[in-house]
Structure 1
Amino acid sequence: MTIHVVGGVYREYCVHPRWYDVFGSAGRAALAIATTGSPVVLHSYTVEATLGVISEKAAWLDCFEIASTPVKGEVSFKYLHDMAVPEVVGVPEVPHAPIRVTQQKVLRFGMLEGDAVVNANWAVYDPQNSRGATPFRANGSKAAHLALVLNSWEATQLTSMPGASPESIASILARQENAEVVVIKMGPRGAFVWTAAGTAQVPAYRTNRVWKIGSGDCFVAHFANAWMHDGLSPAEAADVASRATAYYCETRGFATKENLSACSFSPVALSVEYLAGRQPQVYLAGPFFDLMQIWMVEQAQANLQDLGLKVFSPYHDVGLGSADDVVAKDLAAIVESDIVFAITDGLDAGTVYEIGYARALGKPVVVYSERQHSEHLKMMEGSDCTICTDYTTALYSTLWEAVKL
């Protein structure tokens, strides 16, 4: 039976890595579901240009249809890099009239330019919305069988329960929304799956490269398809979604069922200490002698913290000074840290020394370098540093190494 996907179709820009396309949450999810062979109808607000791009993508898929609601202005997301907070352009001051969908199976996303009122037998709801998460039933939507898929921040916002356990939050959400299933995405911990019959923890999977834009859309799309169309249990559906998301992060492509059968991703390893609440510390090594270098250090500090890591940054925590002022403090921080994230473009002497000092102590080091020839990184490679040429991959490699210590 057809899955009806309702949500945003948006234009997406990313400066680096370069990305310019039309997807949005609903557009990407509908294409991901159709790629598995399941029939899909996409319901969205579109302008002529975005409808044309999505129609071209749909032309390759026999099971994909579009139910467009024409509007005059398009919404765009502009990213400096794929871990950056986007600039959102084109959101109308007055929201468009709601899209109404009455069907057996519906995947609904939160939207910026309007809303979707759903009446379904089976429904999956992802409240993603930069203005704040909204309950499924707040606009009059109805579903006999409802699954909520949301991240930890959205779950906390909807329940006003910061610091509560996932099980407590999920049970509250289920009661508030009369939901049969609640899936809370928890970063490296994977996904927590709640049903009245019990709970399950589904792992996140490690990849060789990471592309973040749209990864959450792929998760909910594959969950919805596996649960509503293929009839898998919520935990089984969440595991399919987690593996399909890993495929998307590594390839920027949508997985077929054959792709998923052929792929073998390893779960992210989690130490007992991390699961008990310990926050790993990262030493942020890198030069900070001009504006470009300082900007990069600022970005890395913020992004590592957003991933849930404690960050020691010499620039922020020690500052500039003489050798007598800074060296002992920096080296002591390397000893106290669990892992080093090193920005090595330019091969700053201090950063190279910090890498060597950390490796001599047996500390894992993730090296982020886009411009250096492999010959210049030979000592780092030969001393078992993890070398990454992509910024987001370097950040996630640091996270995955840290949480297993």
Structure 2
Amino acid sequence: MDNTCIHVVGGLYREECMRPGWREIYGSAGRAASAIAAAGGKACLHGYADTLASDNFLQRAALEQYKVNLTDVADATTFQYVHGLGTPTITTQAASHPSLTISQERVVRFGMLEGDAVVHANFAVYDPQNVSNPRHFAENGSTATHLALVLNRYEAAVLSGIDGSPLEMAQALVSASRAQVVIIKLGPQGALVYADGQEAQVPAFRTDKVWKIGSGDTFVANFAHHWMSGQPAGQAAILASRATAYYCQFRGFATPGQLAAYWPTPVELSARCLKGYRPKVYLAGPFFTLAQLWLVEQAREQLHALGLDVFSPYHDVGHASANDVAAKDLAAIDNCDVLFAIADGLDSGTMYEIGHAQARQKSVVIYCENEADNHLKMMVGAGCIVSKDYVSAIYQTLWTAIEL
């Protein structure tokens, strides 16, 4: 038995994204194996795979130098996204496959849709990855001498059984699961790491671009690699957060040399946001066609989901007289912290709103894919943040707002 190898078990899925274009076969476990191999670790990939997925992983494993131990199934699960922040359409087989059993020194286990994995390990990292019914690590009979849990806030609340602070949830999880380490991901606030009775805060990092699909898998993989190599949990989590930022920026997995040279800026919440303030965002954009309305609805929904207080002229004012619309919209801009503008088409109302926000010295983030650079020259020169990628623009708005 190779005690230095990290055995990764979890979902192996087809992934399709419309914008930006993406058609790959990864899933949580597949991505984690690639991330560990890139980081300089040894990995062995376990999971359920159909013929196409098996061929894909065999070729990738040969190129990236990791091992595979796959269980044949008839068809793979597919995740289809419109964009990286959208809720995916999931196509999967109705029947669940027999559980896999992994007995190894080091194991990373992800929750998955098509089956389960019973793990017996000395060191284990577990990410339940379940948005509706997360399960405890030991619920299926899994055991580990040293266990680390990586959870989002929702999973932590469900599994701890309390609706308290992240620290209170982490302490309850240690008691309930006998975990040595609990990491609770907190979005723009980074993550809480609770290990051996001590808490530490790990920052998130700001990037120019944000490729969201698979970022959580990348964090888990890099944390496991560093923690199982002997790094303290807090330091392993910081390295994992930086590696995740690299992945979001470049859609790739950082090698040790790349990670050593990559120093993104940590996200630092303002004092008022740390006290619970919800920054106000004005959502500017045309809403005269179904496509325009759909995008406004998406932006409003996702900015809300990230914790921002969103004013949308379509939703909060609607169709009214010119005097009424102008007065209410301009007052809302005066009251906002950041203006987020959808600028494709260079709608006259949106351009006016951007100019008014600039005159009031408000921060402005512009999402615009299809206009020539010279059409946005004034906005760029005035200090507006301009992004051609929708998800990146949403995150630039979030980071700008919470740092004010």
Could you say which TM-score interval applies, normalised by the shorter chain? over 0.9
Deviation at 1:160, TM superposition (A): 3.8
Structure 2: distance between partners of 1:188 and 1:43: 32
Does structure 1 conserve the Cα–Cα contact (< 8 Å) formed by 2:79 and 2:89?
yes
Q: Where does residue 379 of structure 1 map in the other structure? A: 378
Structure 1: distance between partners of 2:222 and 2:206: 18
Structure 1: distance between partners of 2:385 and 2:319: 28
The answer on 1:61 being equivalent to 2:60 is: no
Deviation at 1:130, TM superposition (A): 4.0
**Match of 2:253, SS?**
coil
The answer on 1:297 being equivalent to 2:299 is: no
**Cα shift readout 1:69-96 (whole Å, capped 9, x = no counterpart):** 1111210000011111100002x32211
**Match of 1:88, SS?**
strand
Deviation at 1:204, TM superposition (A): 0.4
Which runs of structure 2 are paired with 1:1-400 in the superposition (5 Å)?
A: 1-62=4-65, 64-90=66-92, 92-162=93-163, 164-228=164-228, 230-400=229-399
**Match of 1:308, SS?**
coil
**Cα shift readout 1:274-313 (whole Å, capped 9, x = no counterpart):** 1111111100000111111111100100111111111110
**Cα shift readout 1:239-267 (whole Å, capped 9, x = no counterpart):** 01000000000000011011100112110
Structure 1: distance between partners of 2:371 and 2:123: 52
Structure 2: distance between partners of 1:13 and 1:275: 37
**Match of 1:106, SS?**
strand
Q: Aligned residue pairs: how many?
A: 401
Deviation at 1:129, TM superposition (A): 2.4
**Cα shift readout 1:221-254 (whole Å, capped 9, x = no counterpart):** 00000001x2100100000100000000000001
Report the residue type matching 2:79 in the other structure.
F
**Cα shift readout 1:88-145 (whole Å, capped 9, x = no counterpart):** 002x322111000011110000000000000111100000024421111110100011
Does structure 1 conserve the Cα–Cα contact (< 8 Å) formed by 2:131 and 2:155?
no
Structure 2: distance between partners of 1:310 and 1:340: 12
* % identical aligned pairs: 52
Structure 2: distance between partners of 1:6 and 1:207: 29
**Cα shift readout 1:22-59 (whole Å, capped 9, x = no counterpart):** 00000000110011221111110111110101111111
**Match of 2:374, SS?**
helix
Structure 1 alignment gaps of length 5 or more: none
**Match of 1:401, SS?**
helix
Report the residue type matching 2:36 in the other structure.
I
Structure 2: distance between partners of 1:156 and 1:302: 23
Structure 1: distance between partners of 2:329 and 2:162: 38
**Match of 1:101, SS?**
strand
Deviation at 1:196, TM superposition (A): 2.9
Report the residue type matching 1:181 in the other structure.
V
Structure 2: distance between partners of 1:89 and 1:129: 16
Does structure 1 conserve the Cα–Cα contact (< 8 Å) formed by 2:130 and 2:155?
no
Structure 2: distance between partners of 1:81 and 1:211: 10
Deviation at 1:269, TM superposition (A): 2.0
Report the residue type matching 1:149 in the other structure.
V
Structure 2 alignment gaps of length 5 or more: none
Report the residue type matching 2:283 in the other structure.
L
Which contiguous aligned blocks of 4+ residues in structure 1 show a shift greater than 3 angstroms?
A: none
**Cα shift readout 1:347-400 (whole Å, capped 9, x = no counterpart):** 111111111111111100001100111111111111111011110110000000
**Match of 2:403, SS?**
coil
TM-score (normalised: structure 2): 0.98
TM-score (normalised: structure 1): 0.98
**Match of 1:403, SS?**
helix
Structure 2: distance between partners of 1:133 and 1:197: 24
Deviation at 1:318, TM superposition (A): 0.6
Q: Which moved more, 1:152-161 or 1:289-298?
A: 152-161
Report the residue type matching 2:140 in the other structure.
N
Structure 2: distance between partners of 1:140 and 1:264: 41
Does structure 1 conserve the Cα–Cα contact (< 8 Å) formed by 2:219 and 2:243?
yes
Deviation at 1:217, TM superposition (A): 0.3
**Match of 1:357, SS?**
helix
Does structure 1 conserve the Cα–Cα contact (< 8 Å) formed by 2:304 and 2:310?
yes
